[in-house]
Every structure is written in C-alpha cells, then in structure tokens.
C-alpha cells in the first residue's frame, strides 16, 4: 500500500465486539478504508456487523474466501483465539497485511508458524495489544526508561476484574481453554506484555498457583445474595454475551483466581495477581527502582512517583481516568491506518505477541504442574 492508494479493502474475520470496535475506528479515520468482505460463523454477529458497515461487504462462507480476494488488502482478525494462527498464516500466504486481536495464538508452535509466515510475506502485522497504546502505560514506560526511579528492581501488578465481567467470561466461549487458552493468556496477556515492555527484558523463570473457587455450582447462592442490578439485570450477567450461560454452573476449565511470580533476565522480580470476582476492580502496578517508586492504576488514571528520601514529594504524573482500555483503541487505530498506508512499524507486532504468549504459557505450565518453569524451552522455539 502507499499513501496515494485511493482504496484499502478490509476483510473482517470475526465480527463480534472487539472485531467491530477496531474496524469501526479504522473506517472513521480514513475514507479510503472500506470493508469489502466479512466472515463469521455466527449469523447474529454478521447481521450486527452489516448494520454497522455502510458499504455492503460480501459475506463469505469461510476465512480463506476473505483472504484470497483481490479487493482485500488488510485482513482484520477478531475470532476466537484458537483460530488466530491459521487465519493469520493464510492471510500472509495470500500477501495481505494483518491486524489480529490478542492473544497472538494459544500454542508456542502456532506463534512460531505465524512468525515464519510473517517473515516470508514481508507484510505488516499489528497485534491488538490495546494497552500498549494507552497514554497511561506509555507514560509509565517512559518514566521507567528515562531512569525516573533509577534501575527497576522489583514490582507487583494485577488485573482484578469486576464480578459481572467475571460472570460474562464464565458464561462465554472464553470459559474453555480449547477456544481461548487459559484466562491468563486470554485476558492477562496484556498485563504480561506491559511488564515485558517496561522491564525491557524476557522472563527467565516463572512459578504460579491458580484455581476455580468462586464460579462453582456451590457459589450459585451469590446470585440471590446480590440480587438484580439497579436497572433490573441478573447479577453476573450484565455484560453483553452471545452465550449467556449461568457462570456458576457452566462447564469450564479456566481459573477464576491466580498468582504468579516472574524473574526476568535483567534480574527484575515481578508478582502478578488475577481474579474474576472483584469487588474493587484494579489494573494496578507498583514499581520499585533503586531511586524511587511508581504506583499507578489504569482504572483511576493515577500515576504517583516518589523518590527515596526523607521528605521527597509525591509527584502526580497521572493523566486522568479514561475508558477501560485507557484510550488505547483510538491510538491503535491511528497507528494501524499509518502502518497500512505508510509501512510504519506498529507498536506491538509479532515479537511482542510471541513474548507475551510464551510467558503466559510458561506461567500456566507452572500452575498446572506445581513446578518452577525455566523459559529456555519456550525461547528456543523462536529465532
């Protein structure tokens, strides 16, 4: 593509919530972008997408029909995670640029296949690591990289999600590892990516414990205890869902709470906490360096920085409260448009995707086996 292109055809694979959230932003940014084809096996998603797209795209019966079309230049994938690899590889083989939602894939072998196909194609790959684009996290990364707290020594971070959000996940396709990978991979791959970026290092070894303790059949009484929301919706069911199963009795094999520790090549040590039934949702970080500390939370938009010392002031570096993605979706769409038209490198692509996936998979191996897992085998899968 070039800046002079008068038309950029988009093929959409997976027309659900986060597919259309990014597609609609791209369409709003540059009139040259136009959706020419869509594929989604669920006709409700297709119908909703056609209602949002004014250009009457063709509805294809499989993803290959989308990627092979000559009027598709950019393939935008937001299907279930298990399909990301095949769909991305086929798009690269067809010579198309790819935007793919996170996580990159659900296995290390799939990440390696995607990396090979990307290299061979010479096309651009943008990964939907929305939070990398959020000004809140860009600010934290810049502060650490500029030495504002000295050398990073250790840190903690979390993603504790609202009980209704947790209920949605436990009733949705993501409740099963075969569709989405683990909860850590599906949801917290963002958070692991942020820490990979901020530490500017790769994990060396990891350990973890996790389990399913709240969204179990014996917990169903929480529905009655909490009662309907102020606007009359069932508790744990207020999020949009195509499936909408009872989150307590649904079949599932993901955790609803997990802790992990990571030691990085750089020597930095990190502790992570995830849970899915939170009363006080947070996406918080506490970063300790040799000269100071940063405490930040995306949900409140706060970033505090204080240098080690007797009466050092606490500096307010916060950028304020925004949406759940910290405004990252809009900036991601800006960069995706620029990358497609001008060939600029996206802020998150293949390397970031496979590093986050590998770290998440190793953490889950540690949780499933009860062992400390060294990362050598994972890093050895890539070149």
Point out which residues bind ligand NAD (CB under 6 A): 13-19, 39-42, 45, 63, 78-81, 83, 101-102, 128, 130, 173, 186, 242, 325
* DSSP-based three-state secondary structure for 22: helix
Q: How many CB atoms lie within 10 A of CB 52?
A: 12
Can you tell me the distance from the alpha carbon of 287 to that of 305, in angstroms, rounded to the nearest whole number?
10
Residue closer to ligand NAD by CB (options 144, 180) is: 180
Structure tokens at 44: 């409700």
Contact, 375 vs 202, CB < 8 A?
A: yes
Residue closer to ligand NAD by CB (options 292, 326) is: 326
Residue nearest ligand NAD by beta-carbon distance: 16
Residue closer to ligand NAD by CB (options 332, 358) is: 332
Residue among 367, 326, 287, 324 at smallest CA distance from 162 = 324
Residue closer to ligand NAD by CB (options 42, 109) is: 42
Residue closer to ligand NAD by CB (options 301, 324) is: 324
- The least distance separating ligand NAD from the CB of residue 215, rounded to whole angstroms, comes to 18
- The least distance separating ligand NAD from the CB of residue 54, rounded to whole angstroms, comes to 20
207 phi/psi in degrees, rounded to 5: -145, 155
- The least distance separating ligand NAD from the CB of residue 286, rounded to whole angstroms, comes to 23
Residue closer to ligand NAD by CB (options 19, 219) is: 19
Residue among 219, 63, 198, 203 at smallest CA distance from 141 = 198
Residue closer to ligand NAD by CB (options 185, 373) is: 185
- The least distance separating ligand NAD from the CB of residue 68, rounded to whole angstroms, comes to 15
Can you tell me the distance from the alpha carbon of 181 to that of 105, in angstroms, rounded to the nearest whole number?
8
- The least distance separating ligand NAD from the CB of residue 240, rounded to whole angstroms, comes to 7
- Sheet with 33-39: strands ordered across: 58-59, 33-39, 8-13, 74-77, 97-100, 125-127
- The least distance separating ligand NAD from the CB of residue 10, rounded to whole angstroms, comes to 14
Can you tell me the distance from the alpha carbon of 13 to that of 98, in angstroms, rounded to the nearest whole number?
11
- The least distance separating ligand NAD from the CB of residue 103, rounded to whole angstroms, comes to 6
- Which secondary structure element, helix H or strand E, spans residue 293, and what is its range? strand 292-297
């Amino acid at each position: 593509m070039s800046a002079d292109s008068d038309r950029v055809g988009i093929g959409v694979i997976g027309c659900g919530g986060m597919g259309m959230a990014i597609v609609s932003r791209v369409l709003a940014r540059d009139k040259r972008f136009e959706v020419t084809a869509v594929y989604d096996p669920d006709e409700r998603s297709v119908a909703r997408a056609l209602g949002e797209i004014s250009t009457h795209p063709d509805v294809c019966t499989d993803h290959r029909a989308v990627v092979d079309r000559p009027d598709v230049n950019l393939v935008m994938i937001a299907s279930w995670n298990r399909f990301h690899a095949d769909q991305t590889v086929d798009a690269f083989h067809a010579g198309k640029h790819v935007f793919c939602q996170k996580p990159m894939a659900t296995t290390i072998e799939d990440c390696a296949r995607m990396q090979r196909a990307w290299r061979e194609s010479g096309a651009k790959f943008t990964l939907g690591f929305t939070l990398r684009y959020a000004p809140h996290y860009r600010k934290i990364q810049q502060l650490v990289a500029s030495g504002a707290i000295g050398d990073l020594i250790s840190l903690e971070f979390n993603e504790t999600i609202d009980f209704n959000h947790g209920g949605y996940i436990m009733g949705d396709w993501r409740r099963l590892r075969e569709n989405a990978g683990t909860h850590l991979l599906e949801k917290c791959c963002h958070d692991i990516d942020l820490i990979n970026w901020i530490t500017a290092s790769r994990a060396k070894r990891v350990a973890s414990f996790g389990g399913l303790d709240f969204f179990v059949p014996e917990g169903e009484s929480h529905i009655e205890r909490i009662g309907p929301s102020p606007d009359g919706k069932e508790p744990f069911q207020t999020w949009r869902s195509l499936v909408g199963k009872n989150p307590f009795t649904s079949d599932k094999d993901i955790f609803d709470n997990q802790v992990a520790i990571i030691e990085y090549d750089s020597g930095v040590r990190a502790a992570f906490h995830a849970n899915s039934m939170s009363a006080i949702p947070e996406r918080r970080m506490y970063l300790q360096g040799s000269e100071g500390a940063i405490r930040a939370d995306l949900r409140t938009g706060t970033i505090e920085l204080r240098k080690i010392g007797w009466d050092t002031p606490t500096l307010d570096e916060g950028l304020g409260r925004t949406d759940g993605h910290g405004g990252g979706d809009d900036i991601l769409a800006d960069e995706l448009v620029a990358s497609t038209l001008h060939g600029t490198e996206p802020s998150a692509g293949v390397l970031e995707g496979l590093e986050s996936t590998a770290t998440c998979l190793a953490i889950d191996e540690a949780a499933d086996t009860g062992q400390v897992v060294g990362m050598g085998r994972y890093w050895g899968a890539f070149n």
